[in-house]
Each structure stands twice: as structure tokens, then as C-alpha cells.
Amino acid sequence: MMNANPGGLRKPIRTVLRWQLIATAALTLVGGILAGADGALSAALGGAVSVCAGWVAAVVASKGKAQTTGEVLIGALMAEGVKIGLIVILLWLVLATYEGVVAPLFFGSFLVTVLIFGMAFFVREYQ
């Protein structure tokens, strides 16, 4: 059974997901100030795409029981493939269904949260 509990994920991923949520909330406020309700929703959706894809990729990676370096690599590549596929689907879904999307806020929030996800490499496991 897949462990979807955030507490079951390693500390770097939990930390980065928290940072992404904080950034998404801040960008949602900025989007609301700059462009009203559509701006806020666009920023929130941009961040949500990255947060959801990162969380699902982390769950996929954490369910593996890799024993060798090759198995670890295969698991990491599978998780990254799932993340990229989900990003493409979610970006398309938002752009295809939400006519009021404010593209700069949507893509800006998405890019900021994607960059934050990359910071997991720098988070220490034990502190």
C-alpha cells in the first residue's frame, strides 16, 4: 500500500513541500492585490501544480525498496517521470479550463515553487 502520509516522507521533502505551500500562499496574496480574484486563483493554481506533482513524486520515490544503486536510479527516474507527466497534465488542465487565468501570475508561481522544490538537495536530513 502506498504511504500518502506526509509524515512518512523524508525530512527534506517535507520541508520543501512546506516552503512551497508558504510561497504559494504569499504569491496568492500578491496575485490578489495585483489582479484581484483571478490573479489570486491563478497564483494559487500555479503553486498547486508544483506542490501536487512534487508530493506525488515523493510518494512514488518513497514506496520503492531499492537494494542496489541501479534500483535507486530507476526509482528516482520513475518518480521524476511521474512528476513531469503530472505537471504537463495539470498545466494543460488549468489552461484548458480556466478562462480567467492570469498567465504571468500562474506561470510565475509555478516557476517559483519548482525552484523551491529543487532546494530539497540542500536540506539536511538530521538537525
pLDDT band with cut points at 50, 70 and 90 for residue 3 = very low
How far apart are the C-alpha atoms of 71 and 74, rounded to whole Å?
Answer: 5
pLDDT at 2: 42
Is 17:54 a contact under the CB 8 Å cutoff?
yes
**Helices vs strands, H then E, count in the chain:** 3, 0
- For residue 35, with 0-12 CB atoms within 10 Å meaning exposed, 13-18 middle and 19 or more buried, which class applies? middle
pLDDT at 8: 61
User: What pTM was computed for the model?
Assistant: 0.84
Rounded average pLDDT over 54-83? 87
Share of the chain above pLDDT 90, in %: 62
